[in-house]
Amino acid sequence: MSLTRELIEIMGALMMLRLSSISGAARALVCATSVFATSVSAEDHTTDIGTLDKETADKAFPTKPPYSPYAGRYFPTRPYFGDTHTHTSYSMDAGAFGARLGPKDAYRFAKGEEVIASSGQRAKLSRPLDFMVVADHSDGMGFFPQLIGGDPGLLATPQGRRWYDEINSGKGAEAAIDIITSFGRGQMPKGFPTPGTPAYRSAWRETIKAAEEANEPGRFTAFIGYEWTSNAGGNNLHRNIIWRDNGAKASLVEPFTTLPPLGSPNPRDLWKWMAMVEEKTGAEILALAHNGNLSNGRMFPIIESFNGKRIDREYAENRTRWEPLYEATQMKGDGETHPFLSPNDEFASFERWDKGNLDLTEIKKPEMLEFEYVRSAFKNGLKMEAELGVNPYKFGLVGSTDAHTGLAAVEEDNFFGKTSSSEPSAGRAMHPFVKTDKAVIMGWETTASGYAAVWAMENTREAIFDAMKRRETYATTGPRMAVRFFGGWDFEAADANDRMPARVGYTKGVPMGGDLSSAPTGKSPTFLVAALKDPIGANLDRIQVIKGWVGKDGLTQERVYDVAVSGGRKIDADGRSRTAVGSTVDVANATWTNTIGAGEMITVWKDPDFDPALRAFYYVRVIEIPTPRWTAYDAKYFGVKMPAEAAMTTTERAYTSPIWYTP
Amino acid sequence: MVHALISRLLREPLLQFLAIGAMLFALHGLVGRPGTGAPEKIVVSASRIANLGDGFARTWRRPPSEQELQGLIEDYIRDEVFYREGRAAGLDRDDAVIRRRVRQKMEFLAEDMSVPEPNDEQLAAYLASNPERFRTEDHLTFRHVFLSATRRQNTIDSDSNQVASVLARADAAVDAAALGDPFLLGEEFRGVSATKITNQFGERFAKRILAMEEGRWQGPVASGFGQHFVFISERVSGGLPPLDDIRPAVRREWASARRLEAEQKLYASLRERYEIVVEAPREKAAEAASR
């Protein structure tokens, strides 16, 4: 077959071309991975290499190609992007700020429809989201009477009958006026539900209804959920609760509130309630906390703020059982780490909100920081696991918006702000967001972030929820980049060139959120790491692996490794590339170009400093090249001058759930 | 200071309650109360107690214990005392939170009453006049050969020409993807909607390939990642489904349209009850008078 022969020739030519013309970024990868390959080849496990080589060869010229190499795959192939944290007008504070959009509108917007924002502007996402949780505050969800339900007692009265008929014949507005007038005069028919009676309509039921209507398995997932807004002393301990199930199960209970005696601000009581819900309604639910940065040392405690005692095993077990995820980035700042905690990490100072607690009634002290950020929580979790036998802080990562506008819009050039009063306007950056006599957080400090990415089998409540439970998730600050992270003992350089990295990843290792244990003698953990930029977004600067561990001395440690860098930069022997990627941002015009950075990166990395006796975790951070921050787009669009201290560029990023190593 | 206080009050519901409580307490101490007349009565009726118990049961899926019920009643009384005193002190007036909440309730009222069960005729009419809302998307199954812009910075065009000439003679059986670079999200996409393609490859790419024919290699098509050659093996064209297939969606959209309509109607007729006088701001009025 001449075609086949020609293919072989062309293939060969292309391979040569590929190697000779390979970009700087790829060259760096090759360098990094070839070093690694040498170390691997010294080891004795040739089976996988042999198999892979044969597969690679076979795949180029299969005599009988399978109809679909993807048939029969049982692993997730696409990340789904969503928001686990959108507030609507049903949240009392959102309503107070002028939010007009309810859950139904929030879901429509997430599905890509154009809506009219509360400020009267037209709003649309660049691309629809795949899933969303409308998470309104649990406290203050009660509303007012269910006016028509065909209640026989009510229908027996002439007034009730008349209203019912009017409503059913489309004259609802007339009936409404009549009802309001009658209310005002105290002339309500007997049996008409008054506030406080069981027929009293609850926003919870409306929330459920909106999710049920918006949910379209396979196309868009609308989760049922709410936010338990524990705010004791102004310190943020908020958690969002998500149901795996449909409305039939979710409507069997009312949300747990934070005000005693019915509710409680203590997470231990929330967990009790969650256990009750699963036991009595058969539902499956999970909780994810957010904004430890505004908790003033209370989000990831070693000493519990509610009783002043050391975290015990019961706390650890419950926390890890009910809270598989944490929202690491959102509009009220980024929560990965802090320069005080990670002084050797030049990317640590990112969208910091570290002036105080949520309402700025208490100023931040440096010693609080350790108990507020993701990385230090992962580290302390390892230490506590050694002590309690359970790691309370073994959670995966997502980002979400915490928009109080009903609009999950966090792209830098399409940022609809935190509250309806901070929707796009010329002055929004200059208005204080919170202001007390102690400190002020300005509007420009609001972060246009983030989204949750989930490697689920399909776009359904069940599949996405299950992926969240197994922590196969990552956080992004807004861009929809695809990030893969697998850990195992046998990844080798060639795996980075496999045609189906995911298949190799799942075959030889565990995905993000997973566990490694019992290290084979003489082996170190290896990782397959890859990232693909947002199709309409900026190129990538670098991929990093962040390792944390507990040393022999019992002290926690952390280290950042650059594992893939773009533009042919060098990774030094210490695993760092200290040359910055540069910047193409034109702040005045709010533009940038993809002339630096890389569109994609893939590599295999091996921990060069592994001690099988020590607990450790590894997670991936992907950094984009610098791009204009929302403040730059605002300045350009509205023709305003931003305050000198306002950041005008940003480096968007993604954080994966860790892979933990337990001896 | 007042401004700061108000903006802080608006921030979080819990704080609002605490702050209102604190203000009340202060007010009470300052103003005191004329100690005349019999004390006002707060009656916690049997039905109220039953209702408090129901609320508890809806949260906890069990009735409250005697002690818990007592706690709920005590809390209700505390609520009532503060609420009455607060209203008497006028704290409900000029409070943006309370005003918006009340407005929201009125808007909900209209919504609540605007949605009778529609009949098929109404739904069919709605569907016919809003077809664009319900049209299903085209779905494609395709494979691609990917040439990475990152890996082939300077040679992507010549590589692309070579691949094009090979693929021009290739058929479906050739595993052509091996000609290109690995793509993190895979080589084959099965039954993906136009939206999904846009999400994963960008709008330009989606538009190009949605317009392509099936059954042969075509390209290159540019994306943010590089260039792609595409083989479409299957296309399911979108269209307007019959009402029976999409009744819940049509019902939802119809109800949503009615909801907006009803709200506007309610507002219009309530507004009619008022004679509205908007006074010009003082400086402007003075300016106008001096002219």
Check pLDDT > 70 for residue B251: yes
The two tokens of residue A638 are 């509205």
pLDDT of B118 reads 86
Listed ranges A166-175, B36-45, B203-212; the one with the highest mean pLDDT: B203-212
Residues with Cβ within 8 Å of residue B276, at least 6 apart in sequence:
none
- List the single residue in A17, A258, A261 with the smallest CB-CB distance to B14: A258
If you write DSSP's letter for every residue of A61-130 in order, what string do you get? S-SS--S-TTTT--S--EEEEEEEEE--TTSHHHHHTT----HHHHHHHHTT--EE-TTS-EE--SS--S
What type of residue is B47? S
B108 with A602: Cβ contact below 8 A: no
The two tokens of residue B272 are 């009619």
B101 with A358: Cβ contact below 8 A: no
Calpha distance B280→A634 (Å, rounded):
32
Name the residue in chain A with its Cα closest to that of B154: A21
CB-count burial class (<10 Å; 0-12, 13-18, 19+) for B69: middle
The two tokens of residue A569 are 């930069």
CB pairs under 8 A between A and B: 268
Whether the complex's predicted ipTM is more than 0.90 is answered with no
For chain A, say whether B104 makes contact (Cβ under 8 Å).
yes
Tell me which chain A residues have a C-beta less than 8 angstroms from the C-beta of B190.
68, 70
A330 sits in which H/E element = strand A325-330
| Cα-Cα-Cα-Cα dihedral sign, residues A503, A507, A509, A512 | positive
From the list A331, A416, A422, A413, the residue with the least C-alpha distance to A633 is A413
SS3 sequence of A292-317: HHHCCCCCCCCECCCCCCECCHHHHH
Report the interhelical angle of B13-31 vs B2-11 (nearest 10°): 130
pLDDT of A201 reads 54
Give the number of other Cβ atoms within 10 Å of residue A220's Cβ. 22
Calpha distance B124→B129 (Å, rounded):
9
CB contact at 8 A, A341 and A557: no
What type of residue is A174? E
Check pLDDT > 70 for residue A427: yes
Quote the minimal CA–CA distance from A622 to chain B in Å.
15
A527 sits in which H/E element = strand A526-532
Place of tokens 């890509």: A112
Rounded to 5 degrees, φ, ψ at B30 are: -70, -55
**% of residues, chain B, pLDDT over 90:** 46
The two tokens of residue B49 are 């107690």
DSSP lists the bridge partners of residue A623 as: A542, A653
A10 with B114: Cβ contact below 8 A: no
A112 with B195: Cβ contact below 8 A: yes
* Pair type for strands A627-628 and A616-624: unpaired
**Residue-wise pLDDT tens digits, A490-511:** 999 999 998 889 999 999 999 9
Mean pLDDT value of segment B9-34:
51
Chain B, 108-167: which have a CB under 8 Å from a chain A CB? Answer: 108-110, 112-117, 148-155, 158-159, 162-163, 166
**% of residues, chain A, pLDDT over 70:** 82
Calpha distance A419→B12 (Å, rounded):
12
From the list A651, A626, A625, the residue with the least C-alpha distance to A541 is A625
The two tokens of residue B37 are 């007349």
Three-state secondary-structure class, residue A561: strand
CB-count burial class (<10 Å; 0-12, 13-18, 19+) for A181: exposed
The two tokens of residue B101 are 């909440």
Predicted confidence band at A83 (pLDDT cuts at 50, 70, 90)?
very high
A16 sits in which H/E element = helix A2-20
Three-state secondary-structure class, residue A228: strand
Angle at A541 (CA atoms; ends A535, A543), nearest 5 degrees: 95
**% of residues, chain A, pLDDT over 90:** 69
**Residue-wise pLDDT tens digits, B99-133:** 887 887 777 766 666 567 888 999 999 999 999 88
Quote the minimal CA–CA distance from B35 to chain A in Å.
31
Tell me which chain A residues have a C-beta less than 8 angstroms from the C-beta of B154.
21
- Average pLDDT score over chain A: 85
Interface test with A, best of B132, B166, B184 (most A CBs within 10 A): B184
Predicted confidence band at A2 (pLDDT cuts at 50, 70, 90)?
very low
Predicted confidence band at A599 (pLDDT cuts at 50, 70, 90)?
very high
CA A277 from centre of chain:
25
A630 sits in which H/E element = helix A630-638
CB contact at 8 A, B192 and B143: no
Give the number of other Cβ atoms within 10 Å of residue B191's Cβ. 11
**Residue-wise pLDDT tens digits, A265-281:** 999 999 999 999 999 99
Per DSSP, which regions of A353-465 are E strands? 396-399, 410-411, 414-415, 432-435, 440-442, 451-456
Mean pLDDT value of segment B183-205:
93
Question: Which ranges in A489-559 belong to alpha helices (H)?
Answer: 501-508
Residues with Cβ within 8 Å of residue A272, at least 6 apart in sequence:
none
First-to-last CA distance in chain A? Answer: 55
Check pLDDT > 80 for residue A50: no
Can you give the pTM of this predicted structure?
0.83
Would you state the torsion angle of the CA atoms of residues B264, B270, B272, B275, taken in this order, to the nearest 10 degrees? -120
Quote the minimal CA–CA distance from A261 to chain B in Å.
6
B175 with A497: Cβ contact below 8 A: no
Name the residue in chain B with its Cα closest to that of A505: B184
Name the residue in chain B with its Cα closest to that of A67: B173
Tell me which chain A residues have a C-beta less than 8 angstroms from the C-beta of B166.
6-7, 10
Mean pLDDT value of segment A324-329:
98
**Residue-wise pLDDT tens digits, B72-85:** 999 999 999 999 99
Would you state the torsion angle of the CA atoms of residues B53, B56, B61, B65, taken in this order, to the nearest 10 degrees? -60
Question: CB-hemisphere CA count at 13 Å for A328?
Answer: 32
Contacts of B259-263 with CB under 8 Å at 24 or more apart are B259/B110, B259/B111, B259/B114, B259/B115, B261/B114, B262/A172, B262/A173, B262/A176, B262/B110, B262/B111, B262/B113, B262/B114, B263/B107, B263/B110, B263/B111, B263/B114
CB contact at 8 A, A493 and A34: yes
Tell me which chain A residues have a C-beta less than 8 angstroms from the C-beta of B11.
93, 358-359, 434
Quote the minimal CA–CA distance from A86 to chain B in Å.
16
What type of residue is A41? S
DSSP lists the bridge partners of residue A606 as: A526
DSSP lists the bridge partners of residue A442 as: A432
Interface test with A, best of B2, B11, B247 (most A CBs within 10 A): B11
- List the single residue in A69, A197, A256 with the smallest CB-CB distance to B188: A69
Predicted confidence band at B64 (pLDDT cuts at 50, 70, 90)?
very high
Q: Is A11 or A118 the better-scoring residue by pLDDT?
A: A118
pLDDT of B66 reads 95
Check pLDDT > 70 for residue A41: no
Predicted confidence band at A73 (pLDDT cuts at 50, 70, 90)?
low
Rounded to 5 degrees, φ, ψ at A13 are: -60, -45
A18 with B223: Cβ contact below 8 A: no
CA B246 from centre of chain:
21
Calpha distance A211→A208 (Å, rounded):
5
pLDDT of B99 reads 83
